[in-house]
Structure 1
Amino acid sequence: MKFKKIAAIFFVLFLLSPLFSKSFASTAYKRRLLPDFATTVYDRNGKVVGFFYKGHFRLYAPYDEIPKKLIYAVITAEDERFFEHKGIDPLGILRAAVTDITKGKIVQGGSTITQQLAKILYLSPKRTFERKLKEIAIARELEKKLTKQEILELYLNYIYLSNGAYGVKAAAWVLFGKDNLSDLTLAQCALLAGIIRGPEYYNPFKHPQRALKRRNFILKKMLDLGYITEEEYKKTINEPLTPLKSPNYPRTASYALDLVKFEIARKGIVPYDTIYTAGYKIYTTLDLRVQDYAQKVLKEYDDKYSQKHNLDDLQCAGMAIDKKGGVLFVVGGRDFKESPLNRAFRILRPIGSTAKPFTYLTAFQNGWSPLDYVSNEPFEMVTEITINGTQVLKEWKPENYGKKFTPFVQVRYALMKSINVATLHLAMHFPQKIRKTLVKFEMIKPDDPFDLSYVLGSFPSNLYRIVRAYSAFQDNGILKEPYVITKVTNRFGKVIYRGYPVMKNVSDAWSVQILRSIMQDVVKKGTARSISYLTKWFDVAGKTGTTNDFRDVYFSGFTTSFIMSVWFGRDSYQKMWDGATGGGTAAPPWGLIAKKICQLYGCGQFEPPYEEIVKHYPPPTHFPEEEMEKIYYNEWINKLNEPKDGKDNN
């Protein structure tokens, strides 16, 4: 009696189910039914850099990207008659009903793929007769409004497949480390299909034997149904479950991804919050081979220096762009997990002698020759500094490294050996022109303050600004704005943004070429001679930088293929150690990373070559005797204090 009553109720509800369809079915289909998807970030070679998402990790897979072997495996596992029925499979329901009635409760759903999709979209997982009725009604409505392919697409993008992966494409990444579904093997497709029935029960990392048995069962059933051949079955049955020892969880945060988000926000490429839900594909200029190598090298040097000098807060940073401005790598610290602060571009610190080339470039633009001489005698002056927002006067006596002075020094030698006092004497000929050079190279803004200490790099900056400015030294006065995003597509593959190099001319070529030749000497026999070995294979030019009390060290340089800057310092802004220099501390890891980049991209000789430039240096016009007669302390002070909006100094 109980059996007949339950069966009758089930049958009547089944017949009446169309009456409920309008109440539960969605009126906006396909795209409105799609869930939120993670955004994928790629490097320049198509390798996955990482993902942006919140909540469930889900990657969009349109139907035409889902391989047939995966579709057949899923149909075999979940709904053999999927392409034949109209959303409801009476045979399946009958089999399930017998089981349910026998048990006196819902045990087997007998659900088709369409019914499962209806449950995922609109219903709770609770097993009741009422929910089953609603499920049937919605499934029939879905079949009216969607094609079988659209139903499968939605289903395969929604289902949970263990280890935090929702949808088949996310599962391919987490379980197999594959970004493209087309790369899945037949055995892997069968495993995914088998997991649907019980994502945790058949978790291949937690329960490999269960998962293997279930996978092999699906393969045998595919053979029986004619989806695969006997040869394919025998070849596949012995394949390991997954090539991974543990889940390949998606990387969602790194110094490189931080730069991508920074550029999205700064340029307004897409609404910022949508990067977590819209399923974009973001293509970048990054090179993961260089990114990972640079991070490894800088951390190793950071560890070595920290151990040697007993420091627990030493940090490092590095950034490189190619000759068009595309960012190759960005390292913002020794370890992102320890400290996500991106010191490559999110902080500002003095850059020391990294700033000196701007003074020498200004000199060459104004008729000076590398063969000229400039005073290298010590001097004192009163300068204005800002303390707690108040301008105060302070006596300033700049020092040379090692406290060594000479009456005069040749201009090229002063830059090659990074001599502070000689550089200041040179700068006092045209301080306001140097300020304009710094503005033009975007090292400071037009309304920023300026004083003579800026010549020695006392102003705040970062690696992003340095590589941008040095890009003009690399390319005859053409400055490139660093950029990282080349293209963004929406989830349907439509291009919604393209990134392009942005360039501007900031100097005449000849003055830059003269400067570059001396910056080559910095590497060959100057303060960066620790990496002179590189010049056996390709041309290198650059400049070291060390700030007061050994708080920061830099090496910034370039080849024919890239521009790169490396920094070491402490977040506490305390001294690193006595004698820390850009040439001895920052240049060695710079050299290793440079060698790697050149192996990948090739580096050659500058044009025109060094010898050609040196041969055509302008003849000297500033000799020691003339300097002794003409240079007076008050002249320098008057020139320095000329109004910013006044005429250029001569």
Structure 2
Amino acid sequence: MSRMIRFTRISTWLLFFGLSIGAMLLSSFYLYLRPGLPSVDQLVDIRLQTPLRVYSSDKRLIAEFGEKRRAPITIEQIPNLQLHAFLAAEDSRFYEHNGVDIKGLVRAAVELVTTGSIRSGGSTITMQVAKNYFLTRERTFIRKFNEILLAFQIERELPKNKILELYLNKIYLGNRAYGIQAASQVYYGKPVNELELAQMAMLAGLPKAPSAYNPLADPQRALSRRNWILQRMRELGYISDAAYELASRAPITASYHGAEHELKADYVAEMARSEMVRRYGDDAYTDGYKVYLTVDSEKQKAANDALQAGLEAYDHRHGFRGPLGHLDEDTMATGEFDKALGSYPTYPGLIPVVVTKLSGESATVYSRPTGETTMPFDSMKWAREYRDENRRGSEPTKPADVLKVGDVVYARPQSPAPTSSEADGELPETVAKPFMALAQLPQVEGALISLDAKTGGIEALTGGYSFEESKYNRAIQARRQPGSNFKPFLYLSALEKGKTAATIINDAPIVLDDADQESIWRPENSGSRFAGPTRLRKALYQSRNLVSIRLLRSIGIDYTLDYLKQLKIDTSGMPHNLTLALGSGTLSPMEVARGFAVIANGGYDVTPYLIDRIEDSRGNILYAAPSVIQCDDNCNDLAASSPTSEAGFPAIRTAPRLADKRAVYIMHSMLRDVIRKGTGRRALALNRDDVGGKTGTTNDQQDAWFSGFNHQVATTAWVGFDTPRPMGRGEYGAVAALPVWLDYMKVALKGAPPSYMPRPNGIVTVKIDPETGERAAPGNPDAIFELFREENVPAQQSADTIRNQDNGDAVMPQELF
């Protein structure tokens, strides 16, 4: 008995000594590690790595940039079943323990011994928060002890629901998805509050091993994990037996969903991304900024569609360049087309297909998205053989004239037009099936820019046929000759120097020495026709080159270049010779659009901009585009007194006057005549009298332009090859570019009331003789009205002048050199 008592005492002392030593060691570790532990307050202020998101002005998501996809969410927005699924999988005693669950650790140990694996884990959710937010992933005792200490500290200072919310927003769930909301979108394409029970359990199975239990990478293993979680939810009383039975039998419905982009605007998205990186560096990708652009989603879609349609129309006019490739006999025999077609890129609206069968009326084609589909012959009739920019082969009469079995070509999926019964809401007797139309990727390129004429906000911009095919943004990066699109700036400078819309200049051949080329220059009009003495108004709407050259020589090259600088048009690419009159300098489409916006708004400065405002992850406005105030005088005083926002950015930007408003008003009238009577007549399809514009075509039709406007909006369209070369006979601005502009403006101006520049003081309307440009004599039956600045009104014709005119000897102005 005494031996037993002695053994008990010794054992007790040894246990006490061991516990004391353990307590001392733990205390020593705590005292050693405690000063280095981070403050839990940092959890409240910590910034989750959230991607940069770019939105249109009407809040449509355009793009998302960043390595980690994350969409922070509050715990109130998460369904209780989803919370229960994570608790069942990761920490069923979360609301009972103080950060470290001893029972959970024991249970994990038992699982390891009995099954050889740990399914529920030993770390609590609080410990995972400590690890994910503050600690590294190295497997050491010190790191684990830090994790335990931090878990206790977090539990003391934060409520349970806040800890759970932090956890669900931070955890990595595979496929670049961080947090439950992002994972819900990635795997199921919908927010977490729309998930079904089986889908909730599937997401709850991911934190343990996002790659191993990923339904996209290993569906069977993910299914096993999901059903185990559903079983745990039933055992814990979170779901009923019936709910368990139904959910555990549900099939896997997960599939990869990219970012939900509501508006395709890749070129403007890249412009916004570049600007954000310039402002914030690499933090732009992780700090959750939201960028709202000036771009309108409806107008942007119209710009995309208009440019693509215009480039495809040009492409069809010049013929079919042949198939992309041809599949060998073995592949055709086996019918294993998917792998072969996978080597050909896909573009928006265009998919590669292989021809599997030909008949007299159609081709049968196979594509990976749709399987076998019909390609009617009507969709191939455009496909005459391309020979060069001016020549095509004969018109095809059957599909075999265009395609062969085994050819790989691009096709555009088409939906049949509804029948009259369908339009009336009745089902047709036979339902027409979708079909494919033969297509090809255009080689020609283009750009379209539309600006708010007053503010400079970019309402729509596209820099090419396909951003996937080429990242080169022609809207802002391409510098091309504007051709006759430049003439409004020349004519405006002439109006300010005292010329009038009635000034007569001779449209006749001219021969000039070209000192730069050491040769003779013989400029011509389009069509090589000459009209003789011509009023400036008529010369502009008929785009007379010889008049423009004589006009430039009359007012002076230096004066004109100085005036362009006054308009803030870049002259670095402008020649110092008479070819300037024909638009031989170089400007980007954006610079041309900006120049037309200055004319459109009445002569005030325009600074194009894309970003309307920037918000941080909490919705605080970091930047907002300033309001624009147009000013004729005291602009510097207005700018100096402009208030600043709380964030420190200016609230007002002044737009000083750059051009005489009366000269601009007359230019509006002249450019409206370009559409009413001249080279822009195709724009009459808008049925609007408030629109003016100008075509532009360079030598050999290498560049085609159309720029047009009303008082509110200015839009420029350009078409050409990236490496300048002729586009072919007849590819003038009115043919290649104006239809692009027109298709866009039909949408941009739909429902908008007419917008004219107000008539300024100092404008006089008088009758003139259209042949002489002089003030018409009373009773002249051919007299027409013309606008003048009051100091430029021509004098009343004298009786002698009238008699001379009657004799055919009218005195002509001096511009007839």
Common fold: TM-score over 0.5: yes
1:131 Cα shift?
6.5
1:38 Cα shift?
1.5
Partner of 2:97: 85
Which of these residues, 451, 456, 471, is aligned with residue 325 of structure 1?
A: 456
Distance 1:236 1:470 in 2: 63
Measured against aligned partners, the alpha-carbon deviations of 1:430-462 in whole angstroms (never above 9, x if no partner) come to 123322331122222489663322222111111
Matched, 1:425 2:550: yes
Is contact 2:504-2:816 (8 Å) kept? no
Matched, 1:505 2:657: yes
Matched, 1:315 2:445: yes
1:351 Cα shift?
0.9
Give ranges in structure 1 of 5+ residues lacking alignment.
1-8, 386-391, 634-650
Partner of 2:698: 547
Is contact 1:372-1:620 (8 Å) kept? no
Q: In the superposition, relative to structure 1, how do residues 490 and 99 fare at CA in structure 2: closer, same or farther (>3 Å)?
A: same
Q: In the superposition, relative to structure 1, how do residues 504 and 258 fare at CA in structure 2: closer, same or farther (>3 Å)?
A: farther
Q: In the superposition, relative to structure 1, how do residues 131 and 608 fare at CA in structure 2: closer, same or farther (>3 Å)?
A: closer
Q: In the superposition, relative to structure 1, how do residues 525 and 629 fare at CA in structure 2: closer, same or farther (>3 Å)?
A: closer
Residue type of the alignment partner of 1:363: A
Matched, 1:61 2:72: yes
Distance 2:483 2:514 in 1: 18
Matched, 1:254 2:266: yes
Distance 1:350 1:231 in 2: 73
Partner of 2:787: 617
RMSD over equivalenced CA pairs, Å: 4.3
Partner of 1:6: none
Partner of 2:676: 524
Partner of 1:348: 479
Is contact 2:505-2:816 (8 Å) kept? no
1:555 Cα shift?
0.9
Is contact 1:351-1:545 (8 Å) kept? yes
Partner of 1:440: 566
Partner of 2:283: 274
Higher mean displacement: 504-513 or 219-228: 219-228
Distance 1:102 1:36 in 2: 40
SS, match of residue 43 in structure 2: coil
Report 1:378-417 matches (<5 A).
378-385=509-516, 394-417=519-542
Measured against aligned partners, the alpha-carbon deviations of 1:574-633 in whole angstroms (never above 9, x if no partner) come to 11112211110011121111112223x7352424599x9895613557999788563475
Distance 1:616 1:208 in 2: 78
Distance 1:532 1:193 in 2: 61
Measured against aligned partners, the alpha-carbon deviations of 1:240-281 in whole angstroms (never above 9, x if no partner) come to 987x9641247799211222145447xx6x233332232211
Is contact 1:63-1:152 (8 Å) kept? no
Distance 1:526 1:131 in 2: 79
Higher CA-based Rg: 2
Q: In the superposition, relative to structure 1, how do residues 208 and 294 fare at CA in structure 2: closer, same or farther (>3 Å)?
A: farther
Measured against aligned partners, the alpha-carbon deviations of 1:336-381 in whole angstroms (never above 9, x if no partner) come to 1111011100121111111100122123223333233211112122
SS, match of residue 30 in structure 1: helix
Higher mean displacement: 288-297 or 313-322: 288-297
Is contact 2:56-2:296 (8 Å) kept? yes
Q: In the superposition, relative to structure 1, how do residues 562 and 234 fare at CA in structure 2: closer, same or farther (>3 Å)?
A: farther
Residue type of the alignment partner of 2:537: R
Q: In the superposition, relative to structure 1, how do residues 595 and 414 fare at CA in structure 2: closer, same or farther (>3 Å)?
A: same
Distance 2:50 2:169 in 1: 9
Residue type of the alignment partner of 2:698: T
1:111 Cα shift?
1.9
Matched, 1:556 2:704: no
Partner of 1:582: 733
Is contact 2:600-2:712 (8 Å) kept? no
Partner of 1:42: 55
Identity %: 32
Distance 2:684 2:24 in 1: 86
Which of these residues, 64, 67, 80, is aligned with residue 51 of structure 1?
A: 64
Is contact 1:63-1:149 (8 Å) kept? no
Q: In the superposition, relative to structure 1, how do residues 383 and 73 fare at CA in structure 2: closer, same or farther (>3 Å)?
A: farther
What is the total number of aligned residue pairs between the two structures? 608
Distance 1:440 1:336 in 2: 35
Measured against aligned partners, the alpha-carbon deviations of 1:478-537 in whole angstroms (never above 9, x if no partner) come to 232111111112223322211134533212322222211221222233112223211x25
Distance 2:242 2:665 in 1: 67
Is contact 1:371-1:620 (8 Å) kept? no
Is contact 2:512-2:521 (8 Å) kept? yes
Q: In the superposition, relative to structure 1, how do residues 13 and 52 fare at CA in structure 2: closer, same or farther (>3 Å)?
A: farther
Residue type of the alignment partner of 1:459: G
Q: In the superposition, relative to structure 1, how do residues 447 and 90 fare at CA in structure 2: closer, same or farther (>3 Å)?
A: same
Distance 2:156 2:96 in 1: 14
Is contact 1:442-1:465 (8 Å) kept? no
1:132 Cα shift?
5.2
1:77 Cα shift?
4.3
Higher mean displacement: 280-289 or 119-128: 119-128
Greater RCO between the two (CA within 8 Å, min separation 6)? 1
Is contact 1:13-1:133 (8 Å) kept? no
Residue type of the alignment partner of 2:471: P
Higher mean displacement: 96-105 or 619-628: 619-628
Is contact 1:545-1:554 (8 Å) kept? yes
Q: In the superposition, relative to structure 1, how do residues 424 and 603 fare at CA in structure 2: closer, same or farther (>3 Å)?
A: farther
Q: In the superposition, relative to structure 1, how do residues 460 and 120 fare at CA in structure 2: closer, same or farther (>3 Å)?
A: same
Distance 1:15 1:103 in 2: 36
1:96 Cα shift?
1.0
Partner of 2:601: 475
Partner of 1:157: 169
Distance 2:602 2:246 in 1: 60
Partner of 2:299: 290
SS, match of residue 539 in structure 2: helix
Is contact 1:374-1:627 (8 Å) kept? no
Distance 2:119 2:613 in 1: 50
Give ranges in structure 2 of 5+ residues lacking alignment.
1-17, 319-385, 390-441, 629-652, 766-783
Distance 2:250 2:709 in 1: 49
Distance 1:64 1:435 in 2: 64
Partner of 2:611: 485
Is contact 2:492-2:667 (8 Å) kept? yes
Partner of 1:376: 507
Is contact 2:55-2:293 (8 Å) kept? yes
Partner of 1:334: 465
Is contact 1:17-1:133 (8 Å) kept? no
Q: In the superposition, relative to structure 1, how do residues 545 and 173 fare at CA in structure 2: closer, same or farther (>3 Å)?
A: farther
SS, match of residue 583 in structure 1: helix
